[in-house]
Amino acid sequence: MSGTKIITPKKFKEVFLSHAEKEKERIISLWREDKKFTELMLGYNEGIVAKTAEALGQKYYREYWTIDAVYFKRKIQKYFSKLGTYAEYLSAAIEHENLFKTSHEEMNKLSMLNCPLKVLITYPPQDEAPQLLKEYADILSRADIFKDFTLKRKHLMVFRYLNRPEDSWSFFVYQNGDFTEV
């Protein structure tokens, strides 16, 4: 497909962190204000995820068919209303969940999508992260019926540990039934 750009988990991490670092103080100050924090992460103008898309040469859209955010290169207009947004293909699908205890639902949703990169961002205490990764791996291994999640349709898990005094992000990619740190 002409113009197809595969965003690797490593590249997403690098670009995302560069934008998150610029917003470090706002991340800390807005954390307990769900709507403002979500806007900081996902907002069109100032959102870290939107800025990451732009830096990766992608178009950004929020709430695309119940997906929090997607990246894409081009819209299809031939068959659809010029007013709507219908992506030719998704480069990435991103779910952002402030409440880590319900993040399993988001991982399940991502497992059903056909795109090269699927990202879940959530905020558990650091001591709960290993168990969450095991649970997410179980969800993905059950959904990986064509056994291509390791090679073609990558799943990236992004944790921020808000119970630590320093700004702390961790990135894990699903590979062969388990998550490994990026």
CA nearest neighbour of 121 among 33, 29, 47: 47
Q: pLDDT under 70 in the chain at which residues?
A: 1-4, 163-167
* pLDDT at residue 1, rounded to an integer: 43
- Residue 48 and residue 8 in contact, taking contact as beta carbons nearer than 8 Å: no
* pLDDT at residue 169, rounded to an integer: 94
Query: How do residues 66-79 score in pLDDT, each as one tens digit?
Result: 999 999 998 888 88
* pLDDT at residue 164, rounded to an integer: 62
String of DSSP letters for 25-66: HHHHHHTT-HHHHHHHHH-TTT-HHHHHHHHTT-EEEEEETT
For the entire predicted model, the pTM comes to 0.94
